[in-house]
Structure 1
Amino acid sequence: MPNGLTVYYLPKMDYNRTYGLFTTNFGSLDTTFVPKGETAFQTFPEGIAHFLEHKLFEKEEGDVMYKFGALGAQTNAFTSFSRTSYLFSTRENAYECTELLLDFVQTPYFTDENVRKEQGIIQQEIQMYQDDSDWRLFAGLLEKMYPESPLAADIAGTKETINAITADDLYANYEIFYHPQNMNLFLTGPFEIEEMADFVQKNQAAKTFAELPEIQRQEVAAAEPISQAQLELEVAMPKFALGLRGEDDLPTDPQALMTYKLANQLFLDLLFGRTSQRYEELYNAGLIDDSFGYSFDLDKRFHFAVFTGDTENPKKLSETLQEVLKSYKIDRDFSEEHLELLKREMLGDYYSSLNSLEYIAQQFSSEVYGDLNFFDLPEILKKISLTTIEKAADQLISDMKLVEFTILPK
């Protein structure tokens, strides 16, 4: 659009629900940047992106959630490491809900009084997560993998950082990161593209936005990882996490980047997925149970693989996982036949997920690689071979840094 906003429309005429997702490329990692009108980097309190997410719902006339409720819609928002998204889902009043979504996100209202009020609410939320041992396991692992960096901090911040946030801080962050040039809107549901596009165009044309300077963010620069750490909590069984911090340079080409991510996901599936013989052996040996899981996370500023699970023998599980990773080329599960099975399974999951408007919107908004997006996955997946996976795995493993984090019963 003329103001820089990117809008995606996906008409689904045979559905009875409309789903909207309004996203800014701004998350918990973006605490250090050059504010508007300044020339030097400035660091803001941790948790400010999440705090902004909360505060945008509150206006002088009350909470926006009640307005969505009056329109028969549900609304919510979430903050990740690199983005913040606001959403609605409705069976009626789709145009009114779209207008409300755009207007409330693009009309900030912060005062010292409502900031102080929100500080107490978010502190309660932080405490709730502190009581969640699975969250503490993941957060503790990240803290040891990326010391002295924003990735080591809780997305919601801490009691101290939350208390340090002011209304001026919120406006300084909002002015940079909530400009239309740094945002995208995804709409899907039973609407005509021309009508909805005209409606959104008129909404944006009625608003004025100052020119946005180039956003200067500080890169994620972490200290050397802490290879081993543990914590005692009120848990019945030890909880173990193994992290692989990627140190290799990520591809800049969109297709190569998407291929690298999918290849490493398939690499982990081949060795440790529920279709692997290794999973069955680990399960039968009592080293893992149904809590065992793994993931490969990739952002333009970081990438890592994580294994987590409850186990009576964290040391033995860690040794086994590391041994499998280092000798994967001779592993019986690392085969063309197994790969074809996993690719078919991944495609099946992908096509069945297209029944969910919410899933489509969230995946699309987070999986944009230049000109490629979530809908290009089948074509990229088709081209991935065992050689492709071997190349990506070698790249990750040769430079990775291993971190073990364990939660022990008190």
Structure 2
Amino acid sequence: MKKKLMLISPMLHQGGFERVCITTARLMEPYFDVTIVIFNSANIAYNIEGLNIIDIQMGAKKGKVKKIFNMIRRSAKVRKLKKRMKPDIAYSFGPTANMVNAFSKTGREKVWLGLRNYTDVEETIKIKLFTRLAHLMICCSKTIEKELNIKFGFNRTATLYNLYDVQAIREEAQAKEPKLPWGDYDDQGRKIRYMVSMGRDDDMKGFWHMLKVFSLVHKQIPESRLILMGAGTFGYYKKLAEDLKISDVIYFAGMQREPYQYLKKGEIYLLTSLNEGFPNALVEAMALGLAPVSVDCLTGPAEILLEDGDTTLFEKQIREGKKPVIYGAYGILVPVMNRDRDLDASHILEEEKHMAELVLDLLKDDEKLKKYQEAALNRAQIFTYENYIEQFLKLTLV
């Protein structure tokens, strides 16, 4: 008889941990009786056919007091589900679901709490509570796990990297052609050079930096274009694009159910986030052979792009008055940029100029570009379903 696995996620709309939740459910079906518990079924962006999903129909509330009462009500309802269904493991994704999973603990199940972003570790009160209630804290990067070990002295931890079906990504990318405002060549007959990025309309993605970087690139390579995908209106950034005079060479593609057809057009993937957990879109882009140019935000990029994840070279370069950059084995890394949203088109930071120079260097050096594209393809292979299944099943024995 199979053991029971309960996965808990607030919603199943577009997002990194939602994708991991759905994929985990499908991969674990041969080994467990799997149920996904969600708080709200609005805007489901993933294929859920054949999955056992329970919607407790308790969406988000506004206001601090209402949020607290909502969390209590959710916890009570999930606790009833746990008592009835008797899961052996209850694994939650993200801070909202983690609170409910922890407070609905019955004592019978193993409570796994998934930390999906470095900012989760910065919420000290929550983490101290979680360390008392969790059987295991599942981290999406070794940096987050190390922080739990050192800062909180909590050692019931594990790193479980996000997972990708690299072959399926490539097949889906080739299945369709994207609908873009441009073709393969511009009106001067020059082959268009595409850069791509993905992420929701959120300050944490640092998109004002990206637009300014791209504006500098476009001044020198007028055939360059930027495709930006993700949920949200991007109103601030559309206005910034107008002010930077690049609105006709950037495409805000919105949320795409089939993003890989757009990703495949790119030569370079740009990441300017202030924080990440483990940047799924970065690995997906690498699986399609895009050369990564990324900031060293917490967490993920350094572990993905560098052989050893060590970024101490930045400190040495800065002390010596050099522009900080690490040419990693699998991509190019620069320090994280200023955290304050700056929508002034006339205000271009030195760090934005520096990143633009690195992008231009790649676009002007075919050999270096090809080297990083091939390295990216190879690196993506380590984040496979097979590795994830093996590690997941090992953790069930802990």
TM norm structure 1: 0.30
Computing the radius of gyration from Cα coordinates, the structure with the larger value is 1
